[in-house]
Amino acid sequence: MESDQQKGREGPQKRSPLDLIMNQIRRKTSFSERKKPSVGRLFRPSVSSDKNVDIPETKETESSEGKDSTGPGTESSDTDSEISSVVGWGRVKQFVQKLGKTPDTQSLSLAHCDLTATDVVELGTLLPFLAQLEVMDLSWNDLLGGSLKALTVHLQHVSKLKVLKVSSCRLTAPDLTALGEGLDCIPLLEMLDLSWNAGVGGGNLHCLAKHLCSASSLRELHLVDCQLSEADAVTLGEVLPLLPCLEVLDLSSNKLMKKGIETVASSLSSTPQLKTLKLSMCALNQESLAMLVGEKLKFLPGLEHLDLSCNKESGGGFSTVTTSLSLLTHLKCLDMHLCCLTEEDTLALVQAVPSLSELAELDLSSNKSIGSMMQFLLPVLPLSKIKKLHLNNCGLSPETCQVLATTMQSLAQLESLNLSWNKRVGETLQQLLEPLQAGCKLQELRLSSCDLTTEDMLYLESACKRGALSQLKLLDLSYNGSVGDGGWVSFFGGAAGLKELQELDISLRPSASLSASPWLPALLDALPQLPSVHRLALQRWALGPGDREKLEKALSKRTIALECDQVSVSVAKVAG
């Protein structure tokens, strides 16, 4: 009888729910120490001590109460699953925090973390605990190359993944094959970024492409500077028909050869949903421009962003694509900077632009031959829609500057204006600023190397005081050494109207050096009125010993990135 009573006391009915949980943890700990399955190493005793890891009380109660009704084995299975999930998330947190990042169940950003092959293996074993993951960024980890398969074999656990970024990871052909094989496990993938991986090119793109299917939901494909060869371009041309949902295609910084361009161009008709096409620095010439743009843009009626910048050999060829450009009635952004545009190209734009009623961003920078022709283009722009207008280093003529001044009052939505490196701007700054009224939406104004004078600073001060620049966040007045000390004093006197200003640059040219002492007191008085400033560039302005001390005191309670050649080390530390 005593024996039976003792058995009863030792029997399971005397164990509390907490005992059951602790026994499971002990079993899991022992299991991990034996290192049988690879995932076993995730369950370490140290994780269970995490104060943020809670085991829901309801699960404990349900396991205890349902023991008799569900039969043997059910309680253990449910508890195992619960503990695995909790301890697994604790391991995820430990791994991510070790890399200086913040854990998130839906977004995993491990860019610039110096990940090793060992880290990739461990990350792969953590994916079962990230079932809700939608974004994974592993970019800029040079040591990741050659080890991607250790991660891709676990992609079935993150079937909800929508964004995958592995740019600049030194990917190899086996990596691309492994990634391609894993694509079936992530059917919801919308964005794939393989940029800055030379291993993607050289004929290796087919390792990934052969695994793509017509059911792909991919919307964005980024292949910037992948050293794509002619064979890769041909492969891409074969892949595009399999991506009917594609909206963004970025092939920038790849020298596309004639046959490759021809293949890609012929496949654009298979991507009717394309909204962004970036071909910056692709060595396009007049012939390839006509081949790619002249004939195929009619198949992309929904295109909103077209980047043809930095194709110097394309200059003179835009007159042949005028008709095609005019068909892009939904185009919002056109980037043609550094394309060696000619006067004929500008006239072609004058004919096409009136059809681009939605155009909001135009960048024609670094085309030095179009300055005198811009006076004909500016009036035909959809001025009420323009938000960004970049005309720096365009050799703007006095007539063009006058036309620009006239159109300023119609640029009600303008947020960014770049007129740097146009010497004639200094002669017409008053006319450019006068139309600006209080409430102006301008946030970025660049007037670097515009031969501004002391008098121009007075006009700028006036614009500040009447609230015309109240929303300005960036102001670049660098390389204007022709401004006298009185001009800077006046400008800083109107600083109270720059409440939103975050970046200010008044640096001198590298070959110049002037004393800041005459206007430094005005700057020091203005700083308290510039609460949002976090970057201040004063390069090549000489500061005396007394000036350094005053500047250091003014910055002692501010977090400002100070760029100043003559500032002492202690001040630089304060500036952060």
**Which tens digits make up the pLDDT trace of 239-250?**
999 998 999 999
For the purposes of burial, counting CB atoms within 10 Å of the CB of 215, is it exposed (0-12), middle (13-18) or buried (19 or more)?
exposed
- Does residue 269 share a domain with residue 126? yes
| 39 and 87 assigned to the same domain | yes
Question: pLDDT tens digits for 501-560?
Answer: 999 999 999 999 999 999 999 999 999 999 999 999 999 999 888 888 888 888 888 888
Residue for token digits 């009863």? 8
**Do 115 and 91 belong together in one domain?**
no
Tell me the pLDDT band of 291, cut-offs 50, 70 and 90. Answer: confident
Position 398 pLDDT exceeds 70 = yes
Instruction: Read off φ and ψ for residue 515, nearest 5 degrees.
Output: -80, 135
Residues 108-131, mean pLDDT to the nearest whole number? 96
Question: Band of the pLDDT at 131, cuts 50, 70, 90?
Answer: very high
User: Does residue 407 lie in a domain region?
Assistant: no
Higher pLDDT, 51 or 312: 312
Q: Which residue has the higher pLDDT, 13 or 389?
A: 389
Q: Are residues 33 and 144 in the same domain?
A: no
Where a domain ends, among 62, 96, 130? 96
Q: Is the domain of 89 the same as that of 221?
A: no
The residue among 253, 274, 295 that closes a domain is 274
Q: Is 535 exposed, middle or buried (0-12, 13-18, 19+ CB in 10 A)?
A: middle
SS3 520: helix
* Co-location of 54 and 80 in the same domain: yes
Same-domain status, 266 and 130? yes
User: Cα-Cα-Cα-Cα dihedral of 84, 87, 89, 92, to 10°?
Assistant: -120
Is 236 within the bounds of a domain?
yes
Whether 69 and 128 map to the same domain: the answer is no
Number of Cβ within 10 Å of residue 231's Cβ equals: 17
Give me the residue label for tokens 């169940």.
Answer: 105
pLDDT of 80 above 60: no
Report pLDDT for 28.
41
What pLDDT does 426 receive?
92
Same-domain check for residues 115 and 259: yes
- Residue 380's pLDDT is what? 96
Residue 90 lies in a domain: yes
Are residues 181 and 58 part of one domain?
Answer: no
SS3 call for 541: strand
User: Is residue 221 domain-shared with residue 241, that is, in the same domain?
Assistant: yes
Give percent above pLDDT 70 in the chain: 83
**Using CA of residue 141, residue 147, residue 149, residue 150, what is the dihedral sign?**
negative
Residue 564 included in any domain:
yes
Q: Is 392 a member of any domain? A: no
To the question of pTM greater than 0.75 for the whole model, the response is yes
Number of compact structural domains in the chain? 3
Confidence band, pLDDT 50/70/90 cuts, at residue 88: confident
Task: Inform me whether the pLDDT recorded for 97 exceeds 50.
Answer: yes
Last residue of a domain, one of 80, 96, 112: 96
CATH of the domain at 216: 3.80.10.10
Q: How far apart are CA 496 and CA 440, in angstroms?
A: 16
In a domain, 516, yes or no: yes
Number of neighbouring beta carbons within 10 Å of residue 132: 12
In a domain, 24, yes or no: yes
Mean pLDDT for the chain? 85
Q: What integer is the mean pLDDT of 457-468?
A: 95
> Rounded CA gap, 133 and 105, in Å?
6
The boundaries of the domain holding residue 535 are 415-576
Joined together, the tokens standing for residue 411 give: 């640029």
Structure tokens at 72: 């043997």
Instruction: Return the SS3 of 515.
Output: strand
Q: Are 377 and 353 in contact (CB under 8 A)?
A: yes
Nearest to 296 by CA among 270, 330, 335, 259: 270
Q: Residue 229 pLDDT > 90, yes or no? A: yes
On whether the CB atoms of residues 418 and 390 are closer than 8 A, the answer is yes
For tokens 């609230």, name the residue: 467
User: Same domain, yes or no, for 191 and 243?
Assistant: yes
pLDDT of residue 33: 38
**If you average pLDDT over residues 92-100, what whole number do you get?**
94
Does 430 have pLDDT greater than 60?
yes
Q: Is residue 85 part of a domain?
A: yes
